Amino acid sequence: MLIKLAWRNLWRTPLRTSTILLAIVIGVLSVILMIGFMSGLMTNMLGNAIQWQTNAIQIHHPDYSLEPDVNLVINDTESIQALIGGESAVTGYSERHIVTGMIASARANRGIRILGVLPEQEAQVTPIKDKLVAGQWLSAEGRSPIVLSNKLADRLKLKLGSKVVLTFSDTHGEVTGGAFRVKGIFISPSASFDDNSVFVRKSDLTEFTGVSGIHEIAIAMEDYQLAPALAIRLSDLLNAEVSVEDWQTLQPYLKTLISSMQSFNYLLLVIFVAAMGLGIINIMLMSVFERTQEFGVLMAVGMAPEKVRGLIVLEAVFLGLTGAGVGVLLALGITDILQTTGIDLSIASEGLAEFGIDTVFYPQVTSSQYITLAFSVLLVSVLSALYPARQIIKQSPIQAMNDKH
């Protein structure tokens, strides 16, 4: 009976009830979409930084991170490969021969990081083959091919087949270099990566440096959250022979980024819930005080104060459940559409590239976030009804019936 009575009481003033319900629905929808937008943005940025710059894990000579030197190579790569190959979480790895030098065309030159790679291995670690806008990825065919970014090609006035000269130091510290032909041009989500990295075959690069070893082994994983645990395990197995670093160690700001995103989501939720609570308590106060005499009559004919409190709380529960339910359903529908179509921000492509974000990304909202928001709305609705209910039941039936509000 209380349930039926509470629902009818709620709709005695349809305009007021509809207004607060609309406010709750819009609030729930806005919060979920904002959380989805920010989570999708940050996840995209994090994923791109790991894929293109740090990878899940990197292995170097113990002193390489302090001062990258062409002579600081990894010894006994075969045992490391065997350990990596035995890890089911690893999706691929790439052995890299890396030097810092200059790239020069007939029009310009600039400093660059040159990565000598095995083409098949690198394609498993860096999604560069999918980002080619012209030409082809490195292969065994051809003489001294090079793959560089579209941004770098524009700055050096290059096109497919253009000749460039790479210069760098060899194992004795002498300046050396050679001519390469542009075989492929790519665009990555990261402007800094596009500006500073080129790919050549490892065999071509070692021919000039005179060092046949590996400077870096980059490891890719499907779930990069497992990288810290794997890095610790590999480090223990390899002792002090090499330095094993996960993406959080290589780029600490990425870990801070995740924490900041979570804090932002919680702050957004708290602000919304607080504002919604004030709205509901205002509605409940007006609704309850308008019916003070009616509650007095109910208590006079024998309704217990606990039931009166329960009736008022039930009204607030219906208000919160209806608003949260409709808001969550609308949010589910919209996010489902956006997760298929994506959010296109091509208009801000240059700005997004500076942060390593794709122009099209997808919102991400977890089931726990839906549940947390719905539960918060319901909880605040109940708490908002307790004060008006207390103000009623602390009066005697005679006082309530004589109320002139």
Q: Are residues 357 and 222 in the same domain?
A: no
Q: Are residues 205 and 346 in the same domain?
A: no
Q: What is the pLDDT of residue 145?
A: 95
- Residue 108's alpha-carbon distances to 102, 103, 150, 168, 169, in angstroms, are 11, 9, 15, 17, 20
Locate all alpha helices (DSSP H) within 117-240, ordered by sequence: 119-125, 150-156, 191-196, 202-209, 227-238
Q: Are residues 263 and 340 in the same domain?
A: yes
Last residue of a domain, one of 195, 214, 241: 241
Helices 14-49 and 367-393, axial angle in degrees (round to 10): 150
Residue labelled with tokens 């094993």? 244
Domain with 159, as residue range(s), is 62-241
DSSP code at position 138: -
DSSP code at position 106: S
Residue 293's contacts (CB-CB under 8 Å, 6 or more residues apart) are 400, 401, 402, 403
Is 248 part of a structural domain of the chain?
no
Counting Cα atoms < 13 Å in the Cβ hemisphere of 366 gives 7
Q: Are residues 69 and 195 in the same domain?
A: yes
The beta-strand segments (E) located in 17-128 are: 57-60, 90-104, 109-117
In single-letter form, the type of residue at position 243 comes to S
Is 398 part of a structural domain of the chain?
yes
Q: Are residues 341 and 284 in the same domain?
A: yes
Q: Could you list the pLDDT tens digit for every one of the 405 residues in the chain?
A: 677 877 777 777 788 788 888 888 988 898 899 888 888 888 888 888 888 888 999 999 988 888 888 889 987 788 888 888 888 889 999 999 999 999 999 888 899 999 999 999 999 999 988 899 999 999 888 889 999 999 999 999 999 999 999 999 888 888 898 999 999 999 988 888 888 999 999 999 999 888 878 999 999 998 888 999 999 998 888 876 789 999 988 888 877 877 787 788 788 888 887 887 787 777 777 777 777 777 777 778 777 878 878 888 888 888 889 989 999 999 999 999 998 898 888 887 777 777 778 888 889 888 988 998 888 888 888 888 888 878 777 777 677 676 665
Give the Cα separation of 243 and 320 in Å (integer). Answer: 54
Q: Burial, 394: exposed, middle or buried (Cβ in 10 Å; 0-12, 13-18, 19+)? A: exposed
Q: Are residues 34 and 147 in the same domain?
A: no
Is 55 part of a structural domain of the chain?
no
If we measure between CA atoms, which residue out of 85, 225, 102 comes closest to residue 175? 102
Q: Are residues 159 and 304 in the same domain?
A: no
Q: Are residues 68 and 187 in the same domain?
A: yes
Q: 134 has which bridge partners? A: 185
| Beta strands at 360-361 and 343-344: parallel, antiparallel or unpaired | antiparallel
Number of domains in the chain: 2
Q: Are residues 171 and 262 in the same domain?
A: no
DSSP code at position 241: S
Q: Are residues 384 and 281 in the same domain?
A: yes
Give the Cα separation of 185 and 129 in Å (integer). Answer: 10
* Token pair for 308: 């009166």
Give the Cα separation of 284 and 317 in Å (integer). Answer: 11
- Residue 133's alpha-carbon distances to 137, 147, 282, in angstroms, are 11, 11, 59
Last residue of a domain, one of 213, 241, 269: 241
Is 332 part of a structural domain of the chain?
yes
In single-letter form, the type of residue at position 89 comes to A
Q: Are residues 82 and 186 in the same domain?
A: yes
Is 250 part of a structural domain of the chain?
no
Is 5 part of a structural domain of the chain?
yes
* Token pair for 104: 């020069």
Is 183 part of a structural domain of the chain?
yes
DSSP string, 78-97: HHHHHHHHT-TTEEEEEEEE
Q: Are residues 231 and 330 in the same domain?
A: no
Last residue of a domain, one of 211, 241, 271: 241
φ, ψ of residue 128 in degrees (nearest 5): -75, -30
Asked if residue 188 lies in contact with residue 128, where contact means CB atoms within 8 angstroms, the answer is yes
Counting Cα atoms < 13 Å in the Cβ hemisphere of 45 gives 20
pTM above 0.85, yes or no: no
Q: What is the pLDDT of residue 69?
A: 86
Give the Cα separation of 132 and 121 in Å (integer). Answer: 17
**Exposure b/e, 188-218, CB count within 10 A at least 16 = b:** bbbbebbbbbbbbbbebbbebbebebbbbbb
Is 246 part of a structural domain of the chain?
no
Q: What is the pLDDT of residue 1?
A: 67
